[in-house]
C-alpha cells in the first residue's frame, strides 16, 4: 500500500520534472525582481517579447535581499549551470561576476549610446560590456512640505541647514505633543545601504569616493572625518538611536507613519508615500541630498539594476535579444510610467508622458545622471570586502565605539591590506 | 558471546566426554556462522546511511577542508592554486594575515561562546523551573504543555521576523510595554545597539528553545521513582534540599545530553543572528563570519578556512565535554 | 506555634485560617507562574496573528487586542498560486524526509542496537559528528553533489540534503529504543530461522511504532522549518518550500516589506505544526525521554 503510494508520488515527480525540462529547452529563464509589482512589470515586458519573438520566457523570483541574491547567483554561476539565462544584477556586481557573463557589445547595435554614460562605463569591465542598464537609482532627500511650511523653513541646501531645521521642528513638534517626532531618518545598519549613505556624506563634503577610479585609496582626509562627525552627532539627537539598525523599510516606516521631518531614501518611497492610504499623502517633497558646505556637491549614490546574460546560457543569442528588448526605449518608458522606475535612457527624462507621472524625474535629473558610483569597478571582486570594511568602520563611528579619525586611519590601513596586489594602487 | 562459550569449554573441557565436546564444537561453529551472517547483514543495513552521509556530509566537508588550503574564489572556481596554511595564518612584510590573525574572527569566536554559555545556561535554569511547574498535577496540564511547545514549532525564519517586528525601536510592542510600566523612559534600539543586540538574540533563542530543554527535563522528572520522595517527605526534609540532594543527581544524565545537543546547536548559530541583527562585526557569530567570507567576499579559501576552524572547534568542545561528562558520571558511580 | 494553638481555641482557629491563606497564596503564585510561562510562550504567536489582521498604516501602531478583523492579508497569501504550491511542496518534502529517515534509520538502528560488531562505536561517532557539521561548511560542496546527481531544483534534492540533519538524530534515538527491547523476542525469531530483515520488520518494528512516531514528527518539523538548503537548492516557484516562499514575499518594490502579508503567511505555516504538536505532545515527550535518558 504504502510502497505503491510512494512509487506513485515518485513517478509523478519524475514525470513533472521531465515535462519541465522539455519546456525549458525552448524557453529563456530570467531572474527579475521578487514578487509583487516589480515581478508583474517584468512579466508584462517578457510577454511582449514572447509575442514578438515566439519564444517562451520563464521568470524566477530571487531573494529580496541583495546579499542573498548575490549568493544564489554565485552558486549557480560558479557551477556553470544553465538554469538562468538572464540575470538582474546590482550596479556594484559587474566587476564581481564578469567572469561568468557574456559580452553584450555584439548585440547592442550601438544602442548603448542612448544610456547614461556613467552606467555604461560601470558595466564595462576590461573592455567587455557585461550588462545593460535597466533602471537606475540614486539617493534622494524626502521632506515634509507641510511641516516646513508650518514652521516657515526653507528646503535645506547643506547638511548643517538640515540639522538646524530638523532640530527646530523636532523640538517644536514634540512640545506640541508629537512625542515620537524625529528630525531625520536614514539607513544606518551595517550593510551595503550604509556604504551608500556614508558615501553621500563624504562625497558631498568633497571627501572623495573611498577609492578613486584609478585605484588610489582616499579615505583618511579632513573632509571625511568632518562628514562622519556630522552624522555621528545626528544619532540620538535628530535621528533615533535605532537608526543604526535601519534599512530602507525601517526608515520609511518611521517617515510614512508621520514621525520624521526628513528621510534619505531611494525613489521607490515616492509612490508609496503618495498611495491612497498613506498618512502623508500630498505632504511630501523630494529634493537632492544636501551639500557638505556651500562649495560641496549634491551627491546621491548611484544604485539601480542591470540585465546580464550568463556565459553558460544555452540560448545566448535569444537571451541577449530579450535583454535588448527589456532595456529598450519603449519598455523603459512603460516601466517609468507604470512603476516609476527611473529610466537609464537620457531622452526619457524629457518625455512628456513620463514627466506627467513622476514630476521629480525632471527636477532631479542631475542627481540621476550624476549619481556617485561606489568604487566597484576598480575593486572588482574585492568590492564587497572594501564595502564591508567601510560600513563597519562607519558604523563604529556612528555608535560611538571609535572616533572618526581613528576609525578612518584604521580603515585606510585595512584597505591597503585588501588592495595589496588586488588592484592598481 | 562466542568467547564466553569458548572459555566455558576450556574450563570444564577435561571433564567433558567425547559426545558433549562434539556438540559443543558444532554449536560454536553454528554460532560463528550466525554471528558472521549477522555482522554481514549489519553492514548491509548500515550501507544506506553510510552512503547517504558520505554524500551529503563527508564529501562536502572534505571539499571544504581542501579549499581552505587554496586561494579559490567564487569568481572562477576552476582556477585555484594550493597555498598551504596561508588562509589560516601567514606572515608577510611584518604583518600577520589569515583568519587566525583577523580581529573580526576572534570577535566572532567570543560572541559565539558568549551566546552559547549565556543562552544555554539560562535555558537550563528556566527549563528546570518550567519542568518542575509542569510536573505538578493541575487541570489543563496537557494544554499548557502544548502551549509551551509552540515556540519550538515555529520556523526560525518566521520567529526571527516576528521578534524583529516586536523589537522594533519605534513601533515594536516590547518598547511600548516597557515604557508603559515605566521601566525605560525612551525606546531602546534593541537590534541596532551592538551591546543590546546580542542580548536580544539570546532572549529570542531562550524563547525558542527553552521548551525543548523543559521537555527533556520534564520527561526525566516523570521517570523518577516516587519512593525516594515519599521517604524524604516522611523524614521531613525541606523540599529545596530534596531537590538538590535527590532530584538533581537523578536527572543529571538526561540534562547532560540535553545541554550537549543544545550547545552543539548554539555554537553553530546562524539564522537568528543573520535575520535579527545588523550583522556588523560587533554581533557576528562564527557561522556568520564564515558565510560572509564565502559569499559576500567571494573568498572560498578564507571562508572554507573559517568553516573548517568552526568544525574543529565544535568537535574539540564536544569531545572535551563528553570526556568530562563520562568521568563525572564514572565518579558518581 | 502548634503548642500555643492547642492552648487557646481561638488561636487554633486563626492558625487554620493562616494555613488556608498560605495554601491559597501558594496556589495563586503557582497559577501566576503558569500564566507567565504560557504568556511568554504564546504571546509572539498571538501578536503575529494580531498583526496579520491589520492593514495599511494601522500596522505601525501598537495594539494588544484584536481591534480590526481584516482577512485581506490571508486572501492575498492564499490567492498566490505559488504559495499554495509551496505548501504542497513542503508537505511532500517533509513526508518523504520522514519516510526516508525512518526506513534507513530503522535498519541502521537495528544494526547498531542489536548486533555487536567491530566498528560499531566508530559508526556511532561518525553519525554523531555529522550533527556537528556547520551548514555553512557543507553548503557549496553539497550544491555540487546535488547538481552532479541531477537533483537541482527538484524536491528530491531537498529530501536528499535534509537527511544530513534528520538521519543522525533518527539513528541515535531509534538505536536507544532498539537497545531497550527484550532480547528474548529476537532470539526466538533467530531460533525459528528468520533472516535479520524478517526479524526487523516482523518482530521489532511493531514494537517500535511509538518511537517511530516521535522521531518521525521531529524529522517532519525539522524538514518543514529548514531554510538555507531550500533556498540554495531550488530555483523556481513551483519547487520551493514554504519558509523560502515567506522569505521571498516582498512588496511592490525591492525595499518594501509587507508585514501584514508576511505575518499572515507565517500564521498559515505555523498552524499545521501547532496542531501536530497539540495532537502529538504526549508522544513527543516520551520519545525525547527515551532518546535523551539513555542516549
Mean pLDDT value of segment C62-89: 80
A74 vs B298: CB contact, 8 Å cut-off?
A: yes
In chain C, whose CA is at the least distance from the CA of B173? C62
Task: Please give the residue of chain A at the shortest CA–CA distance from B279.
Answer: A190
* Domains annotated on chain B, with CATH: 109-332 (1.10.3720.10)
Tell me: pLDDT of C81 over 50. Answer: yes
pLDDT band at B253 (very low <50, low <70, confident <90, very high): confident
pLDDT of res. B114: 93
- Mean pLDDT for chain A? 86
Cα atoms in the 13 Å half-sphere on the side-chain side of A248: 23
Residue C156 confidence (pLDDT): 92
Residue C71 within a domain: no
Query: Which of B296, B300, B301, B306 has the highest number of chain A CBs within 10 A, making it the mutation to test binding with A?
Result: B296
- Torsions phi, psi of A87, nearest 5? -110, 140
Based on the domain organization, do C129 and C274 belong to the same domain? yes
Q: How confident is the model at residue A1 (pLDDT cuts 50, 70, 90)?
A: very low
Per-residue H/E/C for C142-197:
HHHHHHHCCCCCCHHHHHHHHHHHHHHHHHHHHHHHHHHCCHHHHHHHHHCCCCHH
Over 90: is that where the pLDDT of C34 sits?
A: no
CATH of domain A140-301+375-419: 3.40.190.10
Question: Smallest Cβ distance to B56: which of C51, C161, C276?
Answer: C161
Q: In the predicted model, what is the mean pLDDT of residues C30-59?
A: 83
Distance CA A59, CA A45 (A): 11
- Could you say which of B278, B281, B295 has the minimum Cβ distance to residue A245? B278
Q: Which of A70, A242, A417 sits opposite B189 (nearest CB)?
A: A242
Beta strand A284-287 with A302-309 is: unpaired
Residue C283 has pLDDT above 70, yes or no: no
In DSSP notation, A210-259 reads EE-TTS-EE-SSHHHHHHHHHHHHHBTTTB-GGGGG--HHHHHHHHHTT-
Same domain, C167 and C259: yes
Residues of C in contact with A61 (CB under 8 A): 82, 237, 248
Do C93 and C46 lie in one domain? The reply is no
* A270 has pLDDT over 60: yes
| Shortest Cα distance, chain B CAs vs residue C47, angstroms | 8
Tens-digit pLDDT profile for residues B146-190 = 788 788 878 887 788 788 878 877 777 888 888 888 777 777 777
Question: Each residue of A357-409: pLDDT tens digit?
Answer: 778 888 888 888 888 889 988 888 788 889 989 998 999 999 888 999 999 99
Chain A with chain C: Cβ pairs closer than 8 A:
92
CA C294 from chain centre, in angstroms, equals 21
The residue among B327 and C160 whose pLDDT is bigger is C160
Say what angle helices A2-24 and C81-114 make with each other, to 10 degrees: 130
Confidence check: pLDDT of C286 > 70 = no
Mark out chain C residues that contact chain A at CB-CB < 8 A. 56-57, 60, 80, 82, 92, 96, 99, 140, 143-144, 147, 152-156, 231-232, 235-238, 247-258
Is residue A411 within 8 A of residue A393, CB to CB? The reply is yes
Could you tell me the pLDDT band of residue C60, with boundaries at 50, 70 and 90? low
Inside any domain, residue C251? yes
Per-residue pLDDT, A20? 44
> B-chain residues within 8 Å CB-CB of A130?
none
Candidates C77, C228, C237, C255, partner chain A, best to mutate (most A CBs within 10 A):
C255
ipTM over 0.85: no
Chain C environment of B223 (Cβ under 8 Å): 289, 293
Residues C47, C82, single domain; the answer is no
Q: How confident is the model at residue A185 (pLDDT cuts 50, 70, 90)?
A: very high
pLDDT digits (tens, 9 = 90+) for A58-102: 888 777 777 778 888 888 888 788 889 999 999 999 988 888 999
Contacts of A391 in chain B (CB under 8 A): 280
Q: How far is C8 from chain B (nearest CA, A)?
A: 26
Q: Please report, rounded to a whole number, the percentage of residues in chain B having pLDDT higher than 90.
A: 14
**pLDDT at A36 (0 to 100):** 60
pLDDT for res C133: 79
pLDDT given at position C246: 81
pLDDT at B2 exceeding the cut of 50: no
pLDDT band at A345 (very low <50, low <70, confident <90, very high): very high
Q: Closest partner residue to B264 among C126, C132, C190, by Cβ?
A: C132
B289 Cβ contact list (under 8 Å, min separation 6)? B104, B105, B108, B306
A184 near A260, Cβ under 8 Å?
yes
The answer to whether residues C102 and C24 belong to one domain is no
pLDDT of residue C71: 80
Give the mean model confidence (pLDDT) for residues C217-223: 84
Q: Among A108-112, A279-283, B25-29, C80-84, where is mean pLDDT lowest?
A: B25-29
Say if C283 falls within a structural domain.
yes
pLDDT level of residue B332 (50, 70, 90 thresholds): very low
Residue of B41, B61, B258 with shortest CB distance to C138: B61
Identify the CA nearest to A31 among candidates A95, A74, A78, A92. Answer: A74
For residue A202, what pLDDT band results from cuts at 50, 70 and 90? Answer: very high
Do residues C22 and C111 both lie within one domain? Answer: no
* Ranges assigned E (strand) in chain B: 90-92, 95-97
Q: How far apart are CA C285 and CA C279, in angstroms?
A: 12
* pLDDT at residue C234 in the model: 85
Q: What is the pLDDT of residue B23?
A: 62
> Looking at the structure, do residues C16 and C127 belong to the same domain, yes or no?
no
pLDDT above 90 for B112: yes
pLDDT number for residue C238: 82
In a domain, residue C148? The reply is yes
- Do the chains contact at B149 and C293, CB–CB below 8 Å? no
**Contact at CB, C156 and A249, closer than 8 angstroms:** no
* pLDDT tens-digit readout, A220-269: 999 999 999 999 999 999 999 888 888 887 888 889 888 999 999 988 78
pLDDT of residue A21: 42
Q: Is the pLDDT of residue C295 over 60?
A: no
C292 to B268: CB separation less than 8 angstroms, yes or no:
no
Residues of C in contact with A279 (CB under 8 A): 57
Task: Provide the 3-class DSSP secondary structure of residue C105.
Answer: helix
Mean pLDDT of B122-129: 91
Mean pLDDT in residue range A131-138: 92
Are C42 and C86 part of one and the same domain? no
Q: Which of A207-221, B214-228, C175-189 has the lowest mean pLDDT?
A: B214-228
Count structural domains, chain C.
2
Q: How far is C15 from chain A (nearest CA, A)?
A: 54
- Given pLDDT bands bounded at 50, 70 and 90, which one contains residue B21? low
Q: Is the pLDDT of residue C5 over 70?
A: no
pLDDT in tens, A144-159: 999 999 999 999 999 9
Angle, helix C259-294 to helix B248-267, in steps of 10 degrees: 130
Structural contact between residues B260 and B266, judged by C-beta atoms closer than 8 angstroms: no
CA distances from B213 to B26, B153, B257, C175 (A): 53, 14, 10, 21
> How many residues are listed for chain A in this entry?
425
Strand A302-309 relative to strand A86-90, pairing: antiparallel
C281 is a domain residue = yes
Domain ranges of chain A: 2-130+303-368, 140-301+375-419
Looking at the structure, do residues C14 and C121 belong to the same domain, yes or no?
Answer: no
CB C244 within 8 Å of CB C90 = no
Answer for the pair A78, A287: CB distance below 8 angstroms, yes or no. no
Nearest C-alpha in B relative to C105: B49
* Average confidence (pLDDT) over C39-46: 87
- Please indicate, yes or no, whether residues C136 and C46 belong to a single structural domain of this protein: no
For position B11, what pLDDT does the model report?
38
Residue C129 located in a structural domain: yes
CATH H superfamily, domain A2-130+303-368: Periplasmic binding protein-like II (3.40.190.10)
CATH number of the domain bearing residue C235: 1.10.3720.10
Residue C72 forms part of a structural domain: no
pTM score? 0.78
Q: Which residue of A has its CA nearest to B295?
A: A71
**Average pLDDT of the residues of chain B:** 79
Find the domain containing C240 and state its range.
77-294
**pLDDT given for residue B330 in this prediction:** 52
C55, C77, C150, C256: which to substitute to probe chain A, counting the most A Cβ within 10 Å?
C256
Q: Which of B60, B150, B268 sits opposite C41 (nearest CB)?
A: B150
Candidate from A237-246, A313-322, C209-218 with smallest mean pLDDT: C209-218
What grid cell was written down for C170? Answer: 533518527
C134-167: pLDDT as tens digits: 888 888 788 888 888 888 888 999 999 999 988 9
How much of chain A, in percent, has pLDDT values that exceed 70? 91
What pLDDT score does C168 carry? 87
A73 → chain C, closest CA residue: C232
* The pLDDT of residue B1 is above 70: no
Residues C165 and C222 in one domain: yes
pLDDT of residue A306: 94
Rounded to an integer, the average pLDDT of C20-36 is 86
Q: Is the pLDDT of residue B68 over 80?
A: yes
Number of other residues whose CB lies within 10 A of the CB of residue A264: 26
Interface of A with B in 92-151 (CB under 8 A): 96-99
A117 pLDDT exceeds 60? yes
pLDDT for residue A338: 82
Give residue A91's pLDDT.
Answer: 92
Look at A84 and C235 and tell me if their CB atoms are within 8 Å. yes
CB B87 within 8 A of CB B305: yes
pLDDT computed for residue B7 by the predictor = 35
Amino acid at each position: 500500500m504504502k510502497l505503491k503510494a510512494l512509487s506513485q508520488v515518485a513517478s509523478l515527480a519524475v514525470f513533472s520534472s521531465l515535462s519541465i525540462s522539455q519546456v525549458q529547452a525552448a524557453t529563456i529563464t530570467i531572474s527579475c525582481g521578487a514578487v509583487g509589482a516589480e515581478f508583474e512589470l517584468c512579466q508584462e515586458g517578457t510577454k511582449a517579447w514572447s509575442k514578438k519573438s515566439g519564444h517562451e520566457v520563464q521568470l524566477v523570483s530571487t531573494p529580496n535581499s541583495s546579499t542573498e541574491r548575490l549568493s544564489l547567483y554565485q552558486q549557480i554561476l560558479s557551477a556553470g549551470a544553465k538554469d538562468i539565462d538572464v540575470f538582474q544584477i546590482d550596479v556594484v556586481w559587474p566587476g564581481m561576476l564578469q567572469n561568468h557573463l557574456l559580452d553584450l557589445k555584439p548585440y547592442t547595435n550601438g544602442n548603448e549610446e542612448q544610456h547614461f554614460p556613467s552606467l555604461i562605463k560601470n558595466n564595462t569591465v576590461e573592455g567587455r560590456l557585461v550588462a545593460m542598464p535597466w533602471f537606475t537609482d540614486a539617493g534622494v532627500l524626502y521632506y515634509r512640505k507641510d511641516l516646513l511650511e508650518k514652521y516657515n523653513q526653507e528646503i535645506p541646501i547643506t547638511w548643517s541647514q538640515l540639522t538646524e531645521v530638523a532640530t527646530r521642528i523636532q523640538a517644536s513638534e514634540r512640545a506640541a505633543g508629537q512625542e515620537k517626532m524625529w528630525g531625520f531618518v536614514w539607513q544606518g545598519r551595517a550593510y551595503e545601504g550604509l556604504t551608500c549613505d556614508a558615501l553621500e556624506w563624504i562625497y558631498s563634503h568633497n571627501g572623495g569616493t573611498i577609492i578613486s577610479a584609478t585605484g588610489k585609496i582616499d579615505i583618511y582626509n579632513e573632509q571625511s572625518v568632518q562628514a562622519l562627525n556630522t552624522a555621528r552627532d545626528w544619532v540620538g539627537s535628530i535621528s533615533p538611536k535605532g537608526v543604526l539598525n535601519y534599512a530602507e523599510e525601517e526608515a520609511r516606516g518611521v517617515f510614512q507613519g508621520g514621525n520624521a521631518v526628513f528621510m534619505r531614501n531611494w525613489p521607490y518611497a515616492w509612490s508609496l508615500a503618495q498611495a491612497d492610504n498613506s498618512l502623508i499623502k500630498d505632504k511630501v517633497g523630494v529634493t537632492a541630498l544636501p551639500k557638505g558646505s556651500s562649495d560641496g556637491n549634491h551627491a546621491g549614490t548611484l544604485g539601480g539594476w542591470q540585465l546580464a546574460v550568463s556565459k553558460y546560457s544555452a540560448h545566448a543569442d535569444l537571451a541577449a535579444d530579450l535583454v535588448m528588448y527589456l532595456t529598450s526605449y519603449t519598455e523603459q518608458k512603460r516601466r517609468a510610467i507604470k512603476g516609476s522606475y527611473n529610466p537609464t535612457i537620457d531622452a526619457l527624462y524629457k518625455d512628456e508622458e513620463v514627466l506627467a507621472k513622476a514630476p521629480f524625474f525632471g527636477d532631479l535629473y542631475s542627481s540621476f545622471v550624476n549619481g556617485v558610483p561606489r568604487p566597484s569597478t576598480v575593486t572588482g571582486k574585492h568590492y564587497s570586502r572594501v564595502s564591508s570594511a567601510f560600513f563597519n568602520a562607519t558604523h563604529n563611528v556612528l555608535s560611538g565605539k571609535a572616533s572618526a579619525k581613528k576609525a578612518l586611519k584604521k580603515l585606510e590601513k585595512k584597505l591597503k591590506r585588501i588592495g595589496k596586489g588586488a588592484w592598481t594602487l | 558471546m562466542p568467547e564466553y562459550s569458548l572459555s566455558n569449554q576450556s574450563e570444564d573441557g577435561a571433564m567433558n566426554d567425547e559426545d558433549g565436546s562434539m556438540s559443543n564444537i558444532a554449536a560454536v561453529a553454528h554460532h560463528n556462522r550466525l554471528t558472521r551472517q549477522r555482522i554481514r547483514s549489519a553492514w548491509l543495513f548500515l550501507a544506506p546511511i553510510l552512503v547517504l552521509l558520505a554524500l551529503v556530509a563527508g564529501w562536502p566537508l572534505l571539499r571544504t577542508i581542501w579549499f581552505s588550503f587554496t586561494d579559490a574564489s567564487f569568481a572562477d572556481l576552476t582556477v585555484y592554486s594550493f597555498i598551504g596554511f596561508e588562509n589560516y595564518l601567514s606572515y608577510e612584510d611584518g604583518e600577520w594575515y589569515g583568519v587566525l590573525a583577523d580581529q573580526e574572527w576572534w570577535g566572532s569566536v567570543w560572541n559565539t561562546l558568549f551566546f552559547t554559555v549565556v543562552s544555554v545556561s539560562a535555558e537550563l535554569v528556566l527549563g528546570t523551573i518550567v519542568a518542575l511547574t509542569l510536573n505538578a498535577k493541575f487541570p489543563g496540564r496537557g494544554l499548557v504543555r502544548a502551549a509551551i511547545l509552540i515556540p519550538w514549532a515555529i520556523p526560525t525564519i518566521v520567529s526571527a521576523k516576528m521578534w524583529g517586528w516586536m523589537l522594533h525601536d519605534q513601533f515594536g510592542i516590547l518598547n511600548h510595554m516597557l515604557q508603559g510600566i515605566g521601566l525605560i523612559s525612551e525606546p531602546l534600539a534593541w537590534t541596532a545597539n551592538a551591546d543590546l543586540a546580542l542580548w536580544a538574540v539570546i532572549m529570542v533563542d531562550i524563547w525558542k528553545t527553552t521548551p525543548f530543554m523543559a521537555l527533556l527535563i520534564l520527561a526525566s522528572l516523570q521517570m523518577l521513582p516516587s519512593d525516594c520522595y515519599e521517604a524524604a517527605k516522611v523524614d521531613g526534609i525541606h523540599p529545596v534540599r530534596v531537590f538538590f540532594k535527590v532530584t538533581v543527581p537523578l536527572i543529571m544524565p538526561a540534562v547532560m545530553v540535553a545541554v550537549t545537543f543544545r550547545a552543539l546547536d548554539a555554537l553553530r548559530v546562524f539564522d537568528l543572528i543573520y535575520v535579527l541583527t545588523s550583522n556588523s562585526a560587533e554581533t557576528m557569530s562564527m557561522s556568520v563570519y564564515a558565510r560572509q567570507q564565502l559569499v559576500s567576499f567571494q573568498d572560498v579559501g578564507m571562508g572554507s578556512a573559517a568553516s573548517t576552524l568552526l568544525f574543529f572547534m565544535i568537535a574539540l568542545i564536544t569531545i572535551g565535554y563528553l570526556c568530562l561528562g563520562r568521568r563525572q558520571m564514572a565518579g558518581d558511580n | 506555634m502548634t503548642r500555643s494553638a492547642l492552648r487557646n481555641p481561638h488561636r487554633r482557629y486563626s492558625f487554620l485560617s493562616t494555613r488556608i491563606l498560605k495554601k491559597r497564596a501558594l496556589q495563586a503564585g503557582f497559577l501566576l507562574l503558569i500564566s507567565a510561562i504560557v504568556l511568554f510562550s504564546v504571546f509572539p504567536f498571538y501578536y503575529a496573528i494580531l498583526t496579520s489582521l491589520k492593514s495599511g498604516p494601522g500596522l505601525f501602531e501598537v495594539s494588544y487586542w484584536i481591534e480590526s478583523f481584516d482577512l485581506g492579508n490571508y486572501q492575498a497569501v492564499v490567492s498566490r498560486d505559488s504559495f499554495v504550491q509551496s505548501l504542497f511542496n513542503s508537505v511532500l518534502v517533509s513526508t518523504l524526509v520522514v519516510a526516508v529517515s525512518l526506513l534507513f534509520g530503522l535498519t541502521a538502528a537495528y544494526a547498531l542496537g542489536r548486533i555487536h560488531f567491530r566498528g560499531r562505536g566508530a559508526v556511532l561517532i561518525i553519525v554523531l559528528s555529522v550533527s556537528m557539521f556547520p551548514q555553512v561548511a557543507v553548503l557549496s560542496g553539497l550544491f555540487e553533489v546535488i547538481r552532479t546527481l541531477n537533483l537541482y531544483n527538484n524536491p528530491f534534492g531537498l529530501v536528499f540534503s535534509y537527511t544530513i540533519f534528520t538521519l543522525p538524530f533518527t539513528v541515535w534515538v531509534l538505536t536507544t529504543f532498539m537497545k531497550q527491547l527484550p532480547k528474548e523476542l529476537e532470539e526466538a525469531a533467530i531460533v525459528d530461522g528468520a533472516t535479520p530483515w524478517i526479524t526487523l520488520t516482523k518482530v521489532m518494528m511493531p514494537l517500535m511504532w511509538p518511537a517511530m512516531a516521535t522521531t518521525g514528527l521531529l524529522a517532519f518539523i525539522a524538514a518543514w522549518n529548514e531554510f538555507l538548503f531550500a533556498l540554495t537548492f531550488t530555483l523556481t516557484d513551483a519547487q520551493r518550500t514554504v519558509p523560502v516562499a515567506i522569505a521571498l514575499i516582498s512588496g511592490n518594490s525591492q525595499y518594501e516589506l509587507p508585514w501584514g502579508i508576511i505575518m499572515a503567511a507565517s500564521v498559515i505555516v505555523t498552524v499545521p505544526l501547532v496542531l501536530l504538536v497539540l495532537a502529538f505532545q504526549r508522544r513527543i515527550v516520551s520519545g525525547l525521554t527515551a532518546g535523551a535518558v539513555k542516549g
